[in-house]
Amino acid sequence: MEVSPNKVPQRFNAVEACIDALLQKVGKKIVLGLPLGLGKANHFANALYARAAADPSISLTIFTALTLERPRGDSDITRRFVQPLLDRLYSHYQDLGYVAARRKGELPNNVEVIEFFMEPGALLGNHYAQQHYVSTNYTEVPAELLRSGINVIAQMVSPSPMGDKYSLSCNPDLTLPLLLMASEHKEKPFFLLGEVNPQLPYMPGSSELAETEFDFLLEGESFDTPLFPAPAMPVSFTEYAIAFHIASLVTDGGTLQVGIGALGDAVCHVLRLRHTENTLFSRLLGELIGTELPPYRKSLPLQIAPFQRGLYGASEMVPHGFLHLRRAGVLIREVYGDEALQELLDSDVITHTVNEETLLALQKCGRIHCPLTTEDTEFLQRFGIVDPSYSWRGHKLLTPDGEEEECDLHSEHGRRRLIGNCLNNKLKGGIWLHGGFYLGPEVMYRELRDLAPVERAGIDMTSIDFTNDLQDQQLLKRAQRKHARFVNSAMMVTLGGAVISDALMDNQVVSGVGGQYNFVAQAFALPGARSIIALPSTRVRDGICESNIVWEYPHTTIPRHLRDIVVTEYGAVDLRGKTDRDVMISMLSICDARFQAVLLEQAKYAGKIEKGFAIPAEFNRNTPEHIAEIFSDEKSLAMLPYYPLGTDFTDEEGLLAVALQQLRAADRSWWRMLMTVIKGRGVWRDKSEEFAFIHRCLERMGCDHSDTYEHRLEAYVIAAALHDYIDTRRPLSG
């Protein structure tokens, strides 16, 4: 396929006609790339899948990640919860056609679906998906796709108001590096198809493409559909406690990366509390840490003051919480696309306001020359330092009136003439958030669509090799990513500091490596940067509590030689550069007290900790009860809502989600369930105002008039869960 700068895309309003045109150009062997998460061209992908399913002569291989699927219920109770959500939030969303067939193991022989990141936990036990998973770092995916012979990329795009550009918006992450790699070929190895959806927020900057970049465009009302919402999940006290410890590690004037999920919501909310409710934040953090900084955290100074310089976001995943941090005045540190300019700003040599000192400082550090060159002039005008009305002409600038001005920085007159109308204006091109992709609740998409143009211009959705890697533009990234804190979740961490984040003991893949390794590597490569691995100290399954800090595991996501900071609800420990003995004692200090003795004995048996070592008394308070007690007062509870960033759920659904989440982990033994039913029956019969919220929730579940024995038992179980797990003193939303 020849690359032509004047190429005009073929436009279609019917997907079948588009597929006919595609098959004529590509042939019947199609290797299709679909973006991770939200940005998939579902209408096109489904029609192509249906065509291949009906025509065995077509070979279709789909490479993708994080296939979004409408929620399903795996029991009568969860189906009762999910069905109204399907009607309200997902009625217009079209599941990908291969989803149901893959789940049932019924994909046609001529269709193959390969993913490098799965919806967490969604495909455990699915033999096909487990066999067709590729374990790779996020930044390596574009090269893997080219090696696999990808010949079609199809993704949802947003149209510009002028109609001459399209934004990759939610997913420039892989498409941009693929286009860059393709530009190095004499012939572009793939066709690019855009499925145009005006409901997708238009994001300017790096994610904008001219229409000539596309080979096919699908446009029309049938593609103008609501986006897939990922409702926020409830935040527990455990996640809040972890978030307080993490927030105390974040340096003002630094850089933040954080992921999606309840923990990411908690981190963003607690950072907001640190800034806006600092007295409460400091008090709760002090109670969580204790009267004296633990010895294994002393190398990590407490960062507790409100933000003055603010933070800059550099994250592969853009969570909803970043928009909240922006509004709260936390995510306000802006970076610029020039390392010299960035260094001058960070060292306070210049400010964000254009004046003569800006020119003089840039000249002094050697970034510009006197007289100005054409490159200097372009650079200064790009950042709004020299009046845009000037044009360069051989060591002189031509004014709009046709007069020539010497490019002289030595005189006050010359500098002021050059700055012109830019004097006292804010520098142009400031970015407060670089991201690779976004996914979140419906309210997040609405907020992005409603952003003022100047705010939207501060978000640059860009390629994954920019956010996750330092290979290109290394000096610029070092200048921008000051005091970086890369926050990532794990499932387990060994006592020796190795991290398990993507798969179970039997190699069943839970999610994927994604960008976790990339961010850990960045933390070791950037001066002052730290990798923060966060996890609850325990998990509960069928009523049995197990430790997430383990002695050993058959595989790891992050090897122990890259151990850095680990955080549980019981504290933060610095493992970087420590001996194995000190690492293990540090990990014991943030382990749940119920599992410390066994782990200590294993370490002693292996000769890693001396026989005479005893668990310090301060480790004994590592219990869920201690955490709950810290957060138990009215003022604290008022500031720790179940959904700190809001939710797409109704009030009743929000409470039910909390209760059902706990119910799923509860003890299912017959005697425990009998006790639950007996308690629930009493609650169900109690019509007092105290339990009015329970009856509203039961009505939402269709349990208020259960007419069968089985449904009545389910109503009792739900009522008991609401009674036991909902604290009415906590607000639902922030």
| Domain final position from 562, 595, 627 | 627
Q: What is the dihedral of CA 640, 644, 649, 655, to 10 degrees?
A: -10
Length of the chain: 734
- Say if residue 576 is in the same domain as residue 672: no
**Regarding beta strands 208-210 and 165-167, do their DSSP bridges make them parallel or antiparallel, or are they unpaired?**
antiparallel
Residue 152 β-bridge partners: 32, 191
Q: What angle do CA 336, 339, 344 make, to 5 degrees?
A: 85
Average pLDDT for residues 172-183, to the nearest whole number?
93
pLDDT higher than 80, residue 129: yes
The residue with tokens 């992450």 is 173
Left if phi > 0, otherwise alpha if psi is -120 to 50, otherwise beta: which for 457? alpha
**CA 182/CA 1 separation, integer angstroms:** 11
Alpha helices in 277-318 (DSSP H): 278-289
**CA 479/CA 81 separation, integer angstroms:** 49
**Could you report the per-residue pLDDT of 601-652, keeping only the tens digit for each?**
999 999 999 999 999 998 999 999 999 999 999 999 999 999 999 999 999 9
Note whether residue 643 is domain-resident.
no
Contact 570, 537 (CB under 8 A): yes
- Say if residue 673 is in the same domain as residue 599: no
- Say if residue 382 is in the same domain as residue 441: no
User: How far from 319 is each of 231, 326, 470, CA to CA, in Å?
Assistant: 12, 12, 22
| Domain final position from 401, 422, 443 | 422
**CA 24/CA 45 separation, integer angstroms:** 17
Q: What is the pLDDT of residue 293?
A: 79
Of the CA atoms within 13 Å of residue 542, those in its CB half-sphere come to 3
Structure tokens at 529: 């940067």
| Domain final position from 422, 443, 466 | 422
**CA 336/CA 338 separation, integer angstroms:** 6
**CA 200/CA 219 separation, integer angstroms:** 13
pLDDT higher than 60, residue 294: yes
**Could you report the per-residue pLDDT of 44-93, keeping only the tens digit for each?**
999 999 999 999 999 999 999 999 999 988 888 888 899 999 989 998 89
Q: What is the pLDDT of residue 362?
A: 96
User: How far from 157 is each of 31, 197, 229, 587, CA to CA, in Å?
Assistant: 20, 6, 17, 46
Looking at the structure of the chain, the number of domains it has is 4
**CA 567/CA 617 separation, integer angstroms:** 20
Beta strands in 283-428 (DSSP E): 312-318, 391-392, 396-398, 404-406
CATH code of residue 504: 3.40.1080.20
Average pLDDT for residues 96-124, to the nearest whole number?
95
Q: What is the pLDDT of residue 44?
A: 98
**Could you report the per-residue pLDDT of 654-708, keeping only the tens digit for each?**
999 999 999 888 877 767 778 888 888 888 888 888 889 989 999 999 886 666 7
- Say if residue 93 is in the same domain as residue 184: yes
Name residues whose C-beta falls within 8 Å of residue 579's C-beta, 6 or more positions apart in sequence.
none
- Say if residue 244 is in the same domain as residue 355: no
Name residues whose C-beta falls within 8 Å of residue 674's C-beta, 6 or more positions apart in sequence.
none
- Say if residue 374 is in the same domain as residue 394: yes
Percent of the chain with pLDDT over 90: 79
**CA 315/CA 318 separation, integer angstroms:** 6
Structure tokens at 161: 């108001």
Report helix, strand or coil for 289. helix
Note whether residue 5 is domain-resident.
no
Q: Which amino acid is at 564?
A: D
**Could you report the per-residue pLDDT of 476-485, keeping only the tens digit for each?**
999 999 999 9
Percent of the chain with pLDDT over 70: 96
Q: What is the pLDDT of residue 2?
A: 45
Average pLDDT for residues 306-322, to the nearest whole number?
97
Q: What is the pLDDT of residue 3?
A: 45
Query: pLDDT-based confidence at 541, cuts 50/70/90?
Result: confident
Contact 501, 511 (CB under 8 A): yes
**CA 635/CA 729 separation, integer angstroms:** 10
- Say if residue 180 is in the same domain as residue 71: yes
pLDDT higher than 90, residue 161: no
**CA 671/CA 336 separation, integer angstroms:** 63
pLDDT higher than 80, residue 395: no
**Could you report the per-residue pLDDT of 373-384, keeping only the tens digit for each?**
889 989 999 999
- Higher per-residue pLDDT: 420 or 28: 28
Structure tokens at 400: 């709009």
User: How far from 458 is each of 64, 275, 338, 435, 453, CA to CA, in Å?
Assistant: 29, 21, 16, 11, 9
Name residues whose C-beta falls within 8 Å of residue 20's C-beta, 6 or more positions apart in sequence.
none
CA-based end-to-end distance of the chain: 52
Sequential DSSP letters for 47-78: HHHHHHHH-TT-EEEEEES--------SSHHH
- Say if residue 623 is in the same domain as residue 673: no
Note whether residue 231 is domain-resident.
no
pLDDT higher than 80, residue 305: yes
Name residues whose C-beta falls within 8 Å of residue 634's C-beta, 6 or more positions apart in sequence.
729
* Burial class of residue 72, CB neighbours in 10 A (0-12, 13-18, 19+): exposed
Note whether residue 188 is domain-resident.
yes
pLDDT higher than 70, residue 169: yes
CB atoms within 10 A of CB 729: 11
- Say if residue 182 is in the same domain as residue 244: no
Left if phi > 0, otherwise alpha if psi is -120 to 50, otherwise beta: which for 210? beta
Peptide bond into 371 cis (omega under 30): yes
Contact 404, 418 (CB under 8 A): no
- Which domain range does residue 60 map to? 10-223
Sequential DSSP letters for 611-677: TT----GGGGG-SHHHHHHHT-SHHHHHTS-SBTT--SS-HHHHHHHHHHHHHHHS---HHHHHHHH
Q: Of 49, 157, 37, 34, which Cα lies nearest the Cα of 111?
A: 49
Q: Please state, rounded to an integer, the average pLDDT across all residues of the chain.
A: 93
Structure tokens at 88: 């309200």
Note whether residue 15 is domain-resident.
yes
Q: What is the pLDDT of residue 373?
A: 85
Helix or strand run (H / E) with residue 113: strand 111-115
Note whether residue 229 is domain-resident.
no
Query: pLDDT-based confidence at 1, cuts 50/70/90?
Result: very low
- Say if residue 37 is in the same domain as residue 125: yes
**Could you report the per-residue pLDDT of 698-728, keeping only the tens digit for each?**
999 988 666 677 888 888 889 899 999 999 9
- Higher per-residue pLDDT: 572 or 80: 572
342-364 as b/e: b if 16+ CB within 10 A: bbbbeeeebeeebbeebbbbbbe
CATH code of residue 51: 3.40.1080.10
Of the CA atoms within 13 Å of residue 230, those in its CB half-sphere come to 17
Helix or strand run (H / E) with residue 183: helix 175-183
Note whether residue 676 is domain-resident.
yes
User: How far from 84 is each of 168, 327, 715, CA to CA, in Å?
Assistant: 32, 32, 17
Note whether residue 126 is domain-resident.
yes
- Say if residue 251 is in the same domain as residue 281: yes
- Say if residue 176 is in the same domain as residue 288: no
